[in-house]
Amino acid sequence: MYVEMADIYDRMYHFKAYATEGAYIAEQVRLRHPAARTMLEVACGTGRFLEYFRGAFEVEGLDASVEMLQRAAVRLPGITLHQADMCEFALRNSYDVVACLFRSIAYSRSAERFDAAIQAMARHVAPGGLLVIEPFFTPESFWVDRVTLNEHRDEEITLAWMYASAREGMEAHLQIHCLVGTAKGVEHFTELHRLGLFSPEQFRHAFSRAGLEVEYDPTGPSGIGLYIGRKRAPA
């Protein structure tokens, strides 16, 4: 995933309000941890959230996709970026805030990898710090048999991408078809995105097992909710 799509990713999500959502996250962090200074964003993609957060925190990013990180490095010169799997990464530092946004936790896919991802992220939260995760759909809220079409046009490119929402067990399957038109012609490629469907109970239990006190904001930055876990500081 995100090999061919990396080149057009930012155009695909031209409608996403990164600054507004980033401000929401920063406000929630400051309300709970006013002294927070450092942040690691897991599944940072092309660095659009980091671009906002670096004005409020000392930031680093992590992503599994080399192609996405290459775009982030161009956008964020001087910012440390790590290439690693969210379920098994081990960095030298801990952070006041570890965040996984834009529903990216769903790419952990299975219940076992979901737990491993929460554990890995929690290990990198400094005592008294926060783990902030924006969820994907739950098993009950995910829709199936629905076709989604998005379009973008600018002076250089015309883009359309479409998928039908399907489900296999506890996974959402999105076979994304992309049409990319430029002066050189029209190209077509597909990517299959397999996304885990996790319940609120799974989030609460995973946060608790990782030693975090969790609270749930039902609105969140984009209307789908937000889990915020705090690592207990030593007595």
- Using DSSP bridges, classify how beta strands 185-196 and 158-168 pair: parallel, antiparallel or unpaired: unpaired
CB 198 within 8 A of CB 140: no
What's the confidence (pLDDT) of residue 232? 86
Radius of gyration of the chain (CA): 18
CATH number of the domain to which 128 belongs: 3.40.50.150
Q: DSSP character for 108?
A: G
Q: What is the pLDDT of residue 3?
A: 87
Distance CA 212, CA 196 (A): 22
Instruction: Report how far residue 61's alpha carbon sits from residue 99's, in angstroms, rounded to the nearest whole number.
Output: 10
**Do 211 and 105 belong to one domain?**
yes
62 and 73 co-located in one domain? yes
Question: Coil, strand or helix: which one is 230?
Answer: strand
pLDDT for 233: 76
Residues 107 and 218 in one domain: yes
Length of the chain measured in residues: 235
- How is residue 152 written in tokens? 């973008």
Range of the domain at 170: 147-196
Total domains, the chain: 2
CA distance 171 to 203: 16
Structure tokens at 145: 């048999």
Do 110 and 28 reside in the same domain of the chain? yes
pLDDT along the chain (235 residues), means of 10: 90 96 98 98 98 97 97 97 98 98 98 98 98 97 94 96 96 97 96 97 98 97 97 78
For residues 188 and 204, state if they share a domain. Answer: no
Output phi, psi for 117, to 5 deg: -65, -45
Query: Where residue 188 sits, what CATH number does that domain have?
Result: 2.20.130.10
pLDDT at 235: 62
Residues 158 and 221 both lie in one domain: no
Shared-domain flag, residues 192 and 208: no
